[in-house]
């Protein structure tokens, strides 16, 4: 054979062998990183067909999915990767990572008003807004006795509204929401509204509608493709809801701005204006602007009103469902507080069983999936690759109903939070307000409201179900687990001892 021909065969073989080796090595070094396991998905649709067939509450379905795939698993909504975490230690480690501190963009909100606030911002804007908000709310008394007095005053207005029912059955939801929302109004606008105020009513109607759209349908807010499908009925509803709330809140902020005086900081809104204007005049770069004020105030209303109202609704429901527990709470309050004054925040350390009841309420009534996070940079969780852009969900419901941590979790047992000597015990895995860098900013406020309103109501009334009515603990699934509508009868206890507000 001619030497040139032989050499050409050798070269071809060498080149082919080199290509094979290169291809194998490229695959080895560039192969997809290990994503969390999960169900097989359809091309283009992802796991939408499987998710659409879920007939039980989403958090329970995800809990079962985690039992199959592990405490870190994933699925896709169209092309959006969603990772679910449902183990306490995993969540604690993950939520401390700055890469997982982002928020997914609320896509439909960006159609009607582009911008972000304390609840929805990520990165540097979130850092600035969180730092300011934490400081401003502390100065306004969050966690302090000064705000406790304001909550007590609102609780007395609530008591008077309940007295007006004259022993007849009523749905407590609106009354509870009025009181809770007015505490937020005090922080944000420096004053409360009369419950009959038209603007106040409009604000709460818009807020309620927004939360009703939340639940499973809220996923349209986080998947960009849905924001482009504005012809879909669910998208139309979200747009209409956003615009209605923007109009009402925008008018309230404009009205409030008329009374703004730089030297007087009446509330959170004034403090925001002052900080924003100070940075602008000093030439400091800032993410504080009128739109971020709107979204921050809206976030405080949305997160603070619905969750606390729902929790109070569960409290009354469990008290009428477990009258022996209600009686025990009342006896403890009467023993510590007496009948000549109302309970105060300073009574809390001595009201150990009352604290245990509130803790058990937190365990059974929560934001089941928390607020979604977004991965802002590639990272890992428990050895799994979490790519940038992933939406991360924490299944808090699973953690608070894990039988390995909570014996017979379906039972309502406040004694879980008492030791053998009857002392109140805090349990590390009770995390209804989330955990990590983005834990709920209003946690202290919510705990103050719940304690004061609960103890005042127990001091002043005994709550019972209407004659012949059954008590159901079935939840209405939305952004929060709210009780389905129910009615209650309030029987006054030594009503002459309360002072009118």
> What is the Cα–Cα distance from 316 to 204, expressed in whole angstroms?
21
Distances (CA, A) of 478 to 18, 211, 216, 237, 296: 58, 6, 7, 15, 21
* Residue 212 confidence (pLDDT): 76
Tokens linked to 426: 């805090």
- List for the chain the helix, strand, coil content (%; round to 5): 55, 10, 35
Cβ partners under 8 Å of residue 100, min gap 6: 94, 373, 374, 375, 376, 379, 381, 386, 392, 436
* Residue 32 confidence (pLDDT): 59
Residue 501 has pLDDT above 50, yes or no: no
Q: Is 375 annotated as a binding residue?
A: no
Distances (CA, A) of 86 to 5, 58, 217, 402: 66, 13, 21, 10
* Residue 165 confidence (pLDDT): 95
Q: What average pLDDT does the segment 181-210 reach?
A: 92
Q: Which helix (H) or strand (E) holds 372?
A: none
pLDDT of 3-33, one tens digit each? 554 445 555 555 555 555 554 444 444 445 7
With bands split at pLDDT 50, 70 and 90, how would you rate the model's confidence at 449? very high
* Residue 26 confidence (pLDDT): 46
For domain 30-497, which CATH number applies: 3.90.1170.40, 1.10.357.10, 3.20.20.140, 1.10.630.10?
1.10.630.10
* Residue 324 confidence (pLDDT): 98
| Every domain of the chain and the residues it spans | 30-497
DSSP secondary structure, 299-368, as one string: HHHHHHHHHHHHHHHHHHHHHHH-HHHHHHHHHHHHHHH-SSS---GGGGGG-HHHHHHHHHHHHHSS-T
Residue 384 has pLDDT above 70, yes or no: yes
DSSP 500: P
* Residue 365 confidence (pLDDT): 79
* Residue 111 confidence (pLDDT): 86
With bands split at pLDDT 50, 70 and 90, how would you rate the model's confidence at 323? very high
pLDDT of 64-108, one tens digit each? 999 999 999 999 988 889 999 999 999 999 999 999 999 988 888
Tokens linked to 476: 């209405």
261 bridge partner residues: 264
Distance of CA 307 to the CA centre of its chain: 7
pLDDT of 211-220, one tens digit each? 777 655 566 6
* Residue 456 confidence (pLDDT): 98
275 neighbors 132 (Cβ within 8 angstroms): yes
Q: What are phi and psi of 204, to 5 degrees?
A: -70, -35
pLDDT of 129-167, one tens digit each? 999 999 999 998 877 778 899 999 999 999 999 999 999
441 neighbors 140 (Cβ within 8 angstroms): no
From the CB of residue 373, how many other CB atoms can be counted at a distance below 10 Å?
A: 27
Residue 358 has pLDDT above 70, yes or no: yes
Among residues 348, 347, 405, 398, the alpha carbon closest in space to that of 369 is found at 398
* Residue 237 confidence (pLDDT): 86
> What is the Cα–Cα distance from 180 to 196, expressed in whole angstroms?
15
């Amino acid at each position: 054979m001619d030497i040139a021909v032989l050499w050409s065969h050798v070269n071809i073989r060498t080149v082919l062998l080199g290509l094979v080796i290169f291809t194998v090595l490229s695959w080895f070094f560039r192969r997809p990183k290990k994503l969390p396991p999960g169900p097989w998905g359809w091309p283009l649709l992802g796991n939408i067909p499987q998710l659409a067939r879920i007939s039980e509450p989403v958090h329970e379905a995800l809990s079962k999915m985690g039992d199959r795939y592990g405490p870190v698993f994933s699925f896709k909504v169209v092309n959006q990767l969603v990772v679910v975490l449902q183990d306490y230690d995993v969540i604690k480690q993950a939520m401390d990572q700055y890469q997982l501190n982002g928020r997914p963009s609320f896509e439909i909100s960006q159609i009607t008003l582009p911008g972000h606030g304390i609840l929805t911002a990520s990165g540097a804007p979130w850092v600035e807004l969180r730092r300011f908000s934490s400081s401003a709310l502390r100065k306004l008394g969050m966690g302090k006795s000064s705000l406790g007095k304001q909550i007590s005053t609102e609780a007395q207005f609530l008591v008077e509204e309940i007295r007006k029912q004259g022993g007849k059955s009523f749905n407590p939801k609106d009354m509870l929401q009025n009181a809770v929302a007015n505490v937020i109004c005090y922080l944000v606008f420096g004053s409360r509204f009369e419950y009959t105020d038209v603007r106040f009513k409009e604000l709460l109607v818009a807020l309620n509608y927004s939360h009703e759209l939340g639940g499973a349908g809220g996923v349209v807010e986080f998947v960009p493709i849905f924001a482009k499908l504005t012809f879909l009925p669910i998208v139309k509803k979200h747009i209409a809801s956003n615009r209605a709330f923007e109009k009402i809140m925008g008018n309230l902020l404009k009205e409030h701005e008329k009374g703004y005086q730089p030297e007087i900081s009446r509330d959170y809104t004034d403090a925001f204006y002052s900080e924003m204007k100070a940075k602008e005049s000093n030439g400091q770069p800032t993410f504080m602007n009128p739109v971020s004020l709107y979204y921050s105030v809206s976030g405080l209303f949305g997160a603070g009103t619905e969750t606390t109202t729902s929790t109070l609704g569960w409290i009354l429901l469990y008290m009428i469902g477990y009258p022996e527990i209600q009686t025990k709470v009342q006896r403890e309050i009467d023993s510590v507080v007496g009948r000549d004054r109302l309970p105060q925040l300073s009574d809390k350390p001595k009201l150990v069983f009352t604290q245990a009841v509130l803790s058990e309420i937190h365990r059974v009534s929560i934001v089941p999936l928390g607020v979604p996070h977004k991965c802002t940079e590639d990272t890992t969780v428990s050895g799994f690759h979490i790519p940038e852009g992933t939406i991360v969900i924490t299944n808090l419901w699973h953690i608070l109903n894990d039988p390995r941590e909570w014996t017979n979790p379906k039972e309502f047992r406040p004694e879980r939070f008492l030791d053998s000597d009857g002392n109140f015990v805090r349990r590390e895995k009770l995390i209804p307000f989330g955990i990590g860098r983005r834990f709920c900013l209003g946690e202290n406020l919510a705990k103050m409201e719940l304690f004061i309103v609960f103890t005042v109501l127990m001091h002043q009334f005994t709550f019972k179900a209407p004659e012949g009515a059954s008590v159901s603990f079935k939840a209405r699934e939305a952004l929060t687990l709210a009780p389905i509508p129910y009615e209650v009868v309030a029987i006054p206890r030594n009503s002459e001892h309360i002072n009118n507000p």
